[in-house]
Amino acid sequence: MSIPRSATPDHPIQELLATRWSPYSFSDRPVSEEDLRSLFEAARWSASSYNEQPWRYIVATKGDPDGFEKILSCLVEGNQAWAKFVPVLAIGCHSKTFARNNKPNAAAEHDLGAASASLTLEATARGLFVHQMIGILPEKVRETYGVPDDYAPLTGIAIGYLGDPPDLDQRYRDRDQAPRQRKPLTEIVFSGTWGRPSPILGEES
């Protein structure tokens, strides 16, 4: 499958950011353990509040069928329909409290997201694709893997090469072919008061 969905940004950005997208169509080509180690190493070096590194990942590959089915069963039905073709699945979890003082860590979800973004960009640099999903079954993850009470399962992560599985439902193929769209900067970058576009946007504002 070709790469039909590189972004067309309004302002110059790094190529990795433009070519990153989240497909539903994955090849069954295995991802090397060497590449996977580098992806999680990239996540490891992400920034976090007080350097707490609150993220934890549960991962399985198609090379471990039982382990893969365990993670797959922790996704909602709609995500299982396409994720069953993916060679690598992971679950992202975060701690609920700071280890330094046991107080609630309001930054933990943000920090897990930042770590997973680093993982995603490392994957993109290696010709891999990542599809993150909120559609998981947190309590099933907790029961299946014995996740401690002070950690929260939050996201699913699919990792692999772009492909075109013959049994993939047409609705997912259609999503992969749809144009990529984003809100303009004037709707997301403000100054002075909420909703007022920042002057840094120049003529856009």
pLDDT computed for residue 196 by the predictor: 96
Residue 205: per-residue pLDDT: 63
Predicted TM-score (pTM) of the model is 0.94
> Which of 53, 87, 94, 55 has the alpha carbon at shortest distance from 71?
87
Residue 126: which CATH number? Answer: 3.40.109.10
Residue 8 domain flag: no
**CA of residue 201 relative to chain centroid, distance:** 29
* Residue 1 CB-density burial (10 A; 0-12 exposed, 13-18 middle, 19+ buried): middle
Is beta strand 55-61 parallel, antiparallel or unpaired with respect to 129-133?
Answer: unpaired
Q: Are residues 142 and 187 in the same domain?
A: no
The answer on 190 and 141 residing in a single domain is: no
Task: Write out the chain's pLDDT in tens, 205 residues.
Answer: 444 578 889 999 999 999 999 999 999 999 999 999 999 999 999 999 999 999 999 999 999 999 999 999 999 999 999 999 999 999 999 999 999 999 999 999 999 999 999 999 999 999 999 999 999 999 999 999 999 999 999 999 999 999 988 889 999 999 998 888 999 999 999 999 999 999 999 987 6
Residue ranges making up the domain that contains 185: 180-205
Q: Do 130 and 203 fall within a single domain? A: no
Q: Are residues 53 and 115 in the same domain?
A: yes
* 126 shares its domain with 193: no
Give the model confidence (pLDDT) of 37-50 as tens digits. 999 999 999 999 99
Residues 51, 111 within the same domain: yes
- Number of folded domains that form the chain: 2
In terms of domains, do 83 and 141 share one? yes
Same domain, 55 and 138: yes
Whether residue 42 is found in the same domain as residue 140: yes
**156 and 205 co-located in one domain:** no
What is the per-residue pLDDT for 1?
A: 45
Residue 109 in any domain: the answer is: yes
Q: Is residue 152 part of a domain?
A: yes
2 domain-assigned:
no
